[in-house]
Amino acid sequence: MARYVKDFSEGDKDQKDLLGGKGANLAEMTRLGLPVPPGFTITTEACRAYLRTGEVPPELRVEVTMAVRHLEDELGRRLGDFHDPLLVSVRSGAKFSMPGMMETVLNVGLNDASVQGLAELSGDERFAWDSYRRLIQMFGRTVLGIDADLFADALDKAKAGRGVTADVDLDAQDLRALVGTYKQIVRDESGREFPQHPREQLDMAIVAVLDSWGTERARLYRRKERIPDDLGTAVNVCTMVFGNLGPTSGTGVAFTRDPATGRTGDYGDYLVNAQGEDVVAGIRNTLSLADLEQVDPAAYAELRQAMRRLETHYRDLCDIEFTIERGKLWMLQTRVGKRTAPAAFRIACQLVDEHLITMDEALSRVSGAQLAQLQFPQFAPAPDGAADRVLLTRAMPASPGAAVGRAVFDPATAQEWAARGEDVVLVRRETNPDDLGGMIAAVGVLTARGGKTSHAAVVARGMGRTCVVGAEELVVDQADRSLTARGRTVREGDVLAIDGTSGEVFLGDVPVVPSPVQRYLEDGLDAALEAAPDDETRDLVRAVDRILRHADTTRRLHVHANADTAQDAARARRLGAQGIGLCRTEHMFLGERRVLVERVVLAADDTQRQAALDALLPLQRADFTDLLEAMDGLPTTIRLIDPPLHEFLPDLTELSVKVALAAERGEVDDGDVALLAAVRRMHEANPMLGLRGVRLGLVVPGLFDLQIRAVCEAVAARLAAGGDPHAEIMVPLVGSVQELRLVRERALTIMVEVGAERGVPVELPVGCMIELPRAALTADRIATQAAFFSFGTNDLTQTTWGFSRDDVEGAFFAQYTANGVLSVSPFETIDVKGVGQLVETAVRLGRATRPDLTLGVCGEHGGDPESIRFFDAVGLDYVSCSPFRVPVARLEAGRAAV
């Protein structure tokens, strides 16, 4: 039994590990009895042996001999034969498709003798010499590493010498002369003759394909697509068939359904009298499959039948490469075809209706990333190369969507202009909590600094607002209300278009198409169907509805939302959230209310502090009452305040300048001077690791008490109003069980107090976030005081890696991704090996102490498709994410369960 070589008749589609994708599918088609040119596959195992030792395994040479002889006997032709030569193609084919990354050599077996045989056999001398010159050209470049331009230049020269512009206008004599020139190029550049021995050609071509696995571009591609480096490629050696043998020959690609729209019915392109490379190069206009039916009804009928066969067999959309050689159909390749997001949903449902797949399979055929794409309005495709679009810069896509509006440079102007009905894009060097009003008013947000978990990014994602961050090419002049980039200046009021999916920023208007799927998710099926412009859109909306409903019945994970206002909560609920997993109460103090927190934190004495707290209580009570009303009947986790102080206190530098300038003018303001002293006292060099979360709650008396009281009173008020509130109190940034114990004891006391005051029982679960490594590692102890854990994977990632979440992404993640340290930002997709291990540990320790402990996650990862799989696997009860991502989380949780 051969070890490294398998005949096409020996494998099947499930052997992609061994045969690569192309080889496995060629074997499958052979098994199905479809007309595949005979050939064999050199396995990935041979490649791995070659990569390990740097030598072609000796057994491989022997096995190739056996396979070639078998092929020769089967076809009655010989490699390199003078009369009736066998020619082969040598193609790469890895397990995962790496389009265009690796090498191919066609027409192997041609030499000075067999070119005559090919001419005889085909009755076409021109064709034979053209095939030979293609071999030398491809072999020279790929196998011998000769600069491709040398061959291209020689070809151009030959055409110029004959006064023609197209390759096809060169005749047999011209091509024969060109072969001579090409051979000279080979001699000059490689110091050797073009190998005449077909077996030497074959062996060298095989090695070149094996080597192409390790090229720089192939490595880069794998890193980007997260394909492991040690898989290796297979090599397919296949009998050549020719689509360029005259008008009854041709070559094409076909799809069993339209991969762009998902429309049923076959679809494809065909080129008469051409080879595969001509189709890809787009040199001539192609015919449709319907045209092929006219040109060659018999071959067309056979192709149709093969397509139906393949689709039934793979039970999915297939794409196919085929060649017709003098009326005879040959299948050169097939695979389950790539498709757009709308096509994925529509095709999955069509296949269910055709009873080819189950709903579970349909669910596994679509992805959260595809659903997310469908949720956003998009820029209309650019007409003809988009010459009318001026790309200003490309930066980090932080929150998807397409937004067009007038540039404004401060939140007040954003609000003012939006109030008068203008669409605005808020441009900031970076955003801070004071910008929130402006961000809400704007259709999009663009910042020059910051990464994917910067303030702008997190808040924008939470609101479903289009956002591009870290546009370092932009020089934003806030005072001048302008920005410059690539030599262009944009002033306040100029129109900008930002693409939060690609990170592109355009100058001027770009047309936008609204999302029918988002309409469905927000307003329901009937409204979306009514608003849909055509049948195809209606079909898409129905498909999304069916698959999402199936995900809901299948999934084990619950999906909650991160929401801070009743309005967001109501929206999350419409989008399918089953609770609020995180209400960030510090967000309730942004904008005008910020000074209230400032007063509590900076109060000089108890009286001042109490006054400030008293002012907050009614506001908070009302906030929570509204929130609980919006979430009536569903769990609502309210996190006690976690304000990184730099976001809430006045900026030290600005305040220092203000006081110094006032002193110079002799206009000292005692209030400012006192404030400056307090801000100096509280100033932190590393605020994300400073007086935050539970630390602040324990250090500043009264702050947590106030919030707990406000929640309890809101619960009492809702109960009195006949509601069904399910508030839970969550303590942030706990590192020690003692911290939680202190807060919990206060909480229990306040619950009893409020219960007595209002005459209703107020008993709320108290739990904590697990967002510090120490909390994860001591989760057994912490669980003694916690009714639930919620993993704060943003801070847990920050503290596990020691990466400042506000700074590192813009600073060096690009380099870290390029050099392979990171394949994706750990702030975006959970780092399973590191941070994930802490999550797993905390789950195990926590449940050991308290088997009924409720476990969830509320960091950004809660809405990330890949991370959701992990959270399902470690046994969390729910994921919580921004309202907009709730549908994606529902879908992915369903996919994780099938």
- Contacts with ligand PEP by CB under 6 A lie at 582, 584, 642, 771, 792-795, 858-859
Q: Whats the size of the chain, residue-wise?
A: 898
Cα-based distances in Å from 856 to 326, 426, 624, 859: 64, 34, 21, 10
- Alpha-carbon dihedral 341, 344, 347, 353, rounded to 10 degrees: -110
State the nearest-atom distance from the C-beta of 771 to Mg ion, in Å.
Answer: 5
- The listed partner (Mg ion, ligand PEP, none) that binds 793, CB under 5 to 8 Å by sort, is ligand PEP
Alpha carbon 753 to chain centroid, angstroms: 50
Helix axes 535-554, 368-375, angle to 10 degrees: 140
Distance CA 855, CA 878 (A): 7
Distance CA 257, CA 356 (A): 14
Q: Which two tokens stand for residue 434?
A: 């004071």
Nearest Cα to Cα of residue 879 among 504, 590, 436, 580? 580
Task: Collapse the DSSP code of 47 into the 3-class scheme (helix H, G, I; strand E, B; otherwise coil) and give the result.
Answer: helix
Q: Which two tokens stand for residue 661?
A: 């300038």
Cα-based distances in Å from 209 to 144, 197, 237, 379: 12, 19, 11, 40
Cβ closest to Mg ion, residue 115 vs residue 731 = 731
- The listed partner (ligand PEP, Mg ion, none) that binds 198, CB under 5 to 8 Å by sort, is none
> What contacts 745, CB < 8 A, 6 or more positions away?
none
Q: Which burial class, exposed, middle or buried, applies to 365 when counting CB atoms under 10 A from its CB (0-12, 13-18, 19+)?
A: buried
Residue of 726, 858, 861, 881 with catalytic role: 858
Cβ closest to ligand PEP, residue 262 vs residue 859 = 859
Distance CA 708, CA 639 (A): 10
- The listed partner (Mg ion, ligand PEP, none) that binds 858, CB under 5 to 8 Å by sort, is ligand PEP
- The listed partner (Mg ion, ligand PEP, none) that binds 582, CB under 5 to 8 Å by sort, is ligand PEP
Active site residue 646: no
Task: Collapse the DSSP code of 447 into the 3-class scheme (helix H, G, I; strand E, B; otherwise coil) and give the result.
Answer: strand
Q: Which two tokens stand for residue 224?
A: 């980007």
Helix axes 886-897, 368-375, angle to 10 degrees: 160
Cβ closest to ligand PEP, residue 438 vs residue 644 = 644
State the nearest-atom distance from the C-beta of 562 to ligand PEP, in Å.
Answer: 7
State the nearest-atom distance from the C-beta of 472 to ligand PEP, in Å.
Answer: 24
State the nearest-atom distance from the C-beta of 794 to Mg ion, in Å.
Answer: 5
Active site residue 318: no
State the nearest-atom distance from the C-beta of 255 to ligand PEP, in Å.
Answer: 43
> What contacts 91, CB < 8 A, 6 or more positions away?
22, 104, 209, 235, 236, 238
Q: Three-state SS string across 4-27, please?
A: CEEEHHHCCCCCHHHHHHHHHHHH
Q: How crowded is residue 305: how many other Cβ atoms within 10 Å of its Cβ?
A: 12
Q: How crowded is residue 149: how many other Cβ atoms within 10 Å of its Cβ?
A: 10
- The listed partner (Mg ion, ligand PEP, none) that binds 93, CB under 5 to 8 Å by sort, is none
Cβ closest to ligand PEP, residue 688 vs residue 711 = 688
State the nearest-atom distance from the C-beta of 894 to ligand PEP, in Å.
Answer: 24
Cβ closest to ligand PEP, residue 212 vs residue 794 = 794
Cβ closest to ligand PEP, residue 275 vs residue 431 = 431
Nearest Cα to Cα of residue 107 among 156, 54, 179, 43? 179
State the nearest-atom distance from the C-beta of 582 to ligand PEP, in Å.
Answer: 6
Q: What are phi and psi of 767, to 5 degrees?
A: -140, -170
> What contacts 499, CB < 8 A, 6 or more positions away?
379, 397, 401, 402, 466, 468, 505, 506
State the nearest-atom distance from the C-beta of 802 to ligand PEP, in Å.
Answer: 15
State the nearest-atom distance from the C-beta of 769 to Mg ion, in Å.
Answer: 6
State the nearest-atom distance from the C-beta of 640 to Mg ion, in Å.
Answer: 12
Distance CA 64, CA 41 (A): 10
- The listed partner (ligand PEP, Mg ion, none) that binds 859, CB under 5 to 8 Å by sort, is ligand PEP
The angle subtended at Cα 610 by Cα 604 and Cα 615, nearest 5°, is: 115
- The listed partner (Mg ion, ligand PEP, none) that binds 709, CB under 5 to 8 Å by sort, is none
Cβ closest to Mg ion, residue 120 vs residue 807 = 807
- What DSSP element (H or E) covers 408? strand 402-408
Task: Let me know: does 98 contact 222? Beta carbons within 8 Å.
Answer: yes
Cβ closest to Mg ion, residue 411 vs residue 450 = 450
- Alpha-carbon dihedral 664, 665, 667, 673, rounded to 10 degrees: -20
- The listed partner (ligand PEP, Mg ion, none) that binds 776, CB under 5 to 8 Å by sort, is none
Residue located via tokens 């043998």: 245
Distance CA 670, CA 659 (A): 9
Q: Which residues bind Mg ion (CB under 5 A)?
A: 771, 792, 795
497-522 core/surface letters (b: 16 or more CB in 10 A; e: else): bbbbbebbbbbeebebeebbbbbbbb
State the nearest-atom distance from the C-beta of 693 to Mg ion, in Å.
Answer: 7
- The listed partner (Mg ion, ligand PEP, none) that binds 101, CB under 5 to 8 Å by sort, is none
Cβ closest to Mg ion, residue 539 vs residue 795 = 795
Cβ closest to Mg ion, residue 476 vs residue 703 = 703
State the nearest-atom distance from the C-beta of 839 to ligand PEP, in Å.
Answer: 11
| CA terminus-to-terminus distance, the chain | 38
Amino acid at residue number 220: L
State the nearest-atom distance from the C-beta of 475 to Mg ion, in Å.
Answer: 32
- The listed partner (ligand PEP, Mg ion, none) that binds 539, CB under 5 to 8 Å by sort, is none
Cα-based distances in Å from 341 to 114, 364, 543: 49, 13, 11
Q: How crowded is residue 730: how many other Cβ atoms within 10 Å of its Cβ?
A: 27
Residue of 455, 550, 560, 646 with catalytic role: 455
User: What positions carry a catalytic annotation?
Assistant: 455, 858
